[in-house]
Amino acid sequence: MDLRESPEDVAFRGEVREFVATHLPPEIRERVLGFRRVPREDYVTWQRILHQRGWGAPGWPREFGGTGWTARQRSIFEEECYTGGAPRQMPFGLSMVAPVIMKFGTPAQREHYLPRILDFRDWWCQGYSEPGAGSDLASLKTRAERRGDVYVLNGQKTWTSFAHYANMIFCLVRTRAEGKPQQGISFLLIDMKTPGLRVRPIKTLDQGADVNEVFLDDVEVPVANLVGEEDRGWTIAKYLLGHERTNIAGIGMCKRLLSRLKALAAGETRRGRPLLEDPRFREKVARIEIQVLSHEWSLMRVISLEQAGRDVSTEASMLKIRGSEIQQHLGALLMECAGPHALHYSPEWLETGHGEEMPGGAHLAGLAAQYFDLRKVAIYGGTNEVQRNIIARAVVGL
Amino acid sequence: MDFTYTDEQSMLAEAVGRWLDADYDFARRRRLAAGEESWQSNWSQYADLGLLGLNVPEAHGGMGATSIEALIVMQALGRALAVEPYLQNALVAAPLLARAGTNTQCEAWLAPLASGDKRVVVAAYEPGGGYDLEHVETRATAMGDDFALNGRKSLVIGADGADALLVSARTSGNAGDPAGISLFLVPTASFGVTLEVAPTIDGQRAAEISLRDVTVPAAALVGAVGRGFEELELAIDRGTAGLCAEAVGVMEKLLEMTAEHLRTRKQFGQPIGAFQALQHRAADMAIAIEQARSMALLAAARIDDPDRRERRRAVSAAKTMIGQSGRHVGEQAVHLHGGMGMTDDLAVGWYFKRLVAIDLTHGDADHHLEQFGALL
Q: Chain A interface, mutation test: which of B7, B280, B287, B322, most A Cβ atoms within 10 Å?
A: B287
* Structure confidence at residue A375 (pLDDT): 96
- Beta partners for A174? A143, A185
CA of residue A206 relative to chain centroid, distance: 17
State whether residue B104 sits within 8 Å of chain A by CB.
Answer: no
What ipTM was reported for this prediction? 0.96
Do residue A16 and residue A74 come from a single domain? Answer: yes
* CATH superfamily entry for domain B7-118: Acyl-CoA dehydrogenase/oxidase, N-terminal domain (1.10.540.10)
Inter-chain contacts counted by CB atoms under 8 A, chains A and B: 124
Per-residue pLDDT of chain A (398 residues; tens, 9 = 90+): 889 899 999 999 999 999 999 999 999 999 999 888 899 999 999 999 999 999 999 999 999 999 999 989 999 999 999 999 999 999 999 999 999 999 999 999 999 999 999 999 999 999 999 999 998 999 999 999 999 999 999 999 999 999 999 999 999 999 999 999 999 999 999 999 999 999 999 999 988 889 999 999 999 999 999 999 999 999 999 898 877 677 789 999 999 999 999 999 999 999 999 999 999 999 999 999 999 999 999 999 999 998 888 989 899 999 999 999 999 999 999 999 999 989 888 777 777 777 667 777 878 888 999 999 999 999 998 899 999 999 999 999 98
Residue A145: CB atoms within 10 Å: 13
In angstroms, the CA A389 to CA A317 distance is 9
In angstroms, the CA B283 to CA B290 distance is 11
State whether residue B251 sits within 8 Å of chain A by CB.
Answer: no
Q: Which of A231, A265, A295 is the last residue of a domain?
A: A231
State whether residue B265 sits within 8 Å of chain A by CB.
Answer: no
> Domain tally for chain A?
3
Instruction: Please tell me the CATH code under which domain B121-225 is placed.
Output: 2.40.110.10
Contact A397, B259 (CB under 8 A): yes
Q: Which of A89, A109, A137 is the last residue of a domain?
A: A89
* Structure confidence at residue A241 (pLDDT): 80
Q: State how far residue A201 is from chain B, nearest Cα, in angstroms.
A: 35
Query: Which residue of B lies nearest to A296 if distances are taken between CA atoms?
Result: B294
Of B273, B279, B297, the CB nearest to A3: B297
Interface of A with B (CB under 8 A): 1-6, 9, 72, 262, 276, 282-283, 285-287, 289-291, 293-295, 297-298, 300-301, 304-305, 308, 314-315, 318, 321-322, 385, 387-389, 391-392, 394-398
Q: State how far residue A188 is from chain B, nearest Cα, in angstroms.
A: 35
Of A289, A294, A398, the CB nearest to B271: A398
* Structure confidence at residue A65 (pLDDT): 93
Mark which residues 319-338 of B lie under 8 Å from A by CB: 320-321
Query: Which residue of A lies nearest to B7 if distances are taken between CA atoms?
Result: A1
Whether residues B294 and A301 touch (CB distance < 8 A) is answered with yes
Q: State how far residue B148 is from chain A, nearest Cα, in angstroms.
A: 41
Do residue A298 and residue A337 come from a single domain? Answer: yes
Is A119 contained in some domain? no
Q: Chain B interface, mutation test: which of A70, A262, A290, A314, most B Cβ atoms within 10 Å?
A: A290
Tens-place pLDDT, residues A288-311: 999 999 999 999 999 999 888 898
* Structure confidence at residue A359 (pLDDT): 75
Is A96 contained in some domain? no
Do residue A201 and residue A301 come from a single domain? Answer: no
* Structure confidence at residue A208 (pLDDT): 86
Host domain of residue A288: 244-396
| Per-residue pLDDT at B135 exceeds 80 | yes
**How many residues in total does chain A contain?**
398
Do residue A257 and residue A279 come from a single domain? Answer: yes
Of A294, A391, A397, the CB nearest to B283: A391
Which residues, 6 or more positions from B333, have their beta carbon under 8 angstroms from its beta carbon? B254, B255, B257, B258, B285, B341, B348, B351, B352
Is A2 contained in some domain? no
* Structure confidence at residue A355 (pLDDT): 64
Q: Which residues of A touch B294 (CB under 8 A)?
A: 294, 297-298, 300-301
Do residue A350 and residue A259 come from a single domain? Answer: yes
In angstroms, the CA A347 to CA B129 distance is 55
Is A239 contained in some domain? no
A311 to A87, A303, A308: CA distances (angstroms): 31, 11, 9
User: What is the C-alpha end-to-end distance of chain A, expressed in Å?
Assistant: 33
Of B2, B276, B372, the CB nearest to A290: B372
Domain boundaries, chain B: 7-118, 121-225, 230-374
In angstroms, the CA B65 to CA B56 distance is 8
CA of residue A249 relative to chain centroid, distance: 10
* Structure confidence at residue A247 (pLDDT): 78
Element (H, E) at A147: strand A143-147
Is A36 contained in some domain? yes
What's the per-residue H, E or C state across chain B? CECCCCHHHHHHHHHHHHHHHHHCCHHHHHHHHHCCCCCHHHHHHHHHCCCCCCCCCHHHCCCCCCHHHHHHHHHHHHHHCCCCCHHHHHHHHHHHHHHHCCHHHHHHHHHHHHHCCCCEEEECCCCCCCCCCCCCCCEEEEECCEEEEEEEEEEEECCCCCCEEEEEEECCCCCCCCCCEEEEEEECCCCCEEEEEEECCCCCEEEEEEEEEEEEEHHHEECCCCECHHHHHHHHHHHHHHHHHHHHHHHHHHHHHHHHHHHHCEECCEEHHHCHHHHHHHHHHHHHHHHHHHHHHHHHHHCCCCCHHHHHHHHHHHHHHHHHHHHHHHHHHHHHCHHHHHCCCCHHHHHHHHHHHHHCCCCCHHHHHHHHHHCC
In angstroms, the CA A208 to CA B127 distance is 59
Q: Which of A201, A231, A261 is the last residue of a domain?
A: A231
Q: Which residues of B touch A289 (CB under 8 A)?
A: 317, 372, 376
Do residue A254 and residue A287 come from a single domain? Answer: yes
Is A116 contained in some domain? no
Q: State how far residue B375 is from chain A, nearest Cα, in angstroms.
A: 9
Query: Which residue of B lies nearest to A9 if distances are taken between CA atoms?
Result: B1
Tens-place pLDDT, residues B225-264: 999 999 999 999 999 999 999 999 999 999 999 999 999 9
Do residue A296 and residue A224 come from a single domain? Answer: no
Whether residues A286 and B274 touch (CB distance < 8 A) is answered with no
Whether residues A395 and B283 touch (CB distance < 8 A) is answered with yes
Contact B149, B169 (CB under 8 A): yes
Do residue A266 and residue A363 come from a single domain? Answer: yes
In angstroms, the CA B334 to CA B327 distance is 11
Do residue A152 and residue A20 come from a single domain? Answer: no
| Active-site position among A78, A80, A244, A336 | A244
Counting other chains too, the contacts that A305-314 makes at CB distance below 8 Å and 24 or more residues apart are: A305/B3, A305/B4, A306/A71, A306/A245, A306/A246, A307/A70, A307/A71, A307/A72, A308/B4, A312/A245, A312/A246, A313/A242, A313/A245, A313/A390, A314/A390, A314/A391, A314/A394, A314/A395, A314/B286
User: A105: phi > 0 → left, psi -120 to 50 → alpha, else beta; which?
Assistant: beta
Whether residues B294 and A294 touch (CB distance < 8 A) is answered with yes
Q: Which residues of A touch B262 (CB under 8 A)?
A: 396, 398
CATH number assigned to the domain comprising residue A191: 2.40.110.10
Q: Could you tell me which of A72, A87, A98 has the C-alpha nearest to residue A23? A: A87
Active site annotation includes A244: yes
Residue A150: CB atoms within 10 Å: 16
Query: Which residue of B lies nearest to A393 if distances are taken between CA atoms?
Result: B279
As assigned by CATH, the class of the B230-374 domain is mainly alpha
Is A164 contained in some domain? yes
State whether residue B376 sits within 8 Å of chain A by CB.
Answer: yes
Is A109 contained in some domain? no
Tens-place pLDDT, residues B168-197: 999 999 999 999 999 999 999 999 999 999
Do residue A254 and residue A226 come from a single domain? Answer: no
Is the overall model pTM greater than 0.90, yes or no? yes
Do residue A351 and residue A255 come from a single domain? Answer: yes
Residue A394: CB atoms within 10 Å: 16
Pairing state between β A168-174 and A124-127: parallel
Query: Which residue of B lies nearest to A284 if distances are taken between CA atoms?
Result: B373
Do residue A201 and residue A289 come from a single domain? Answer: no
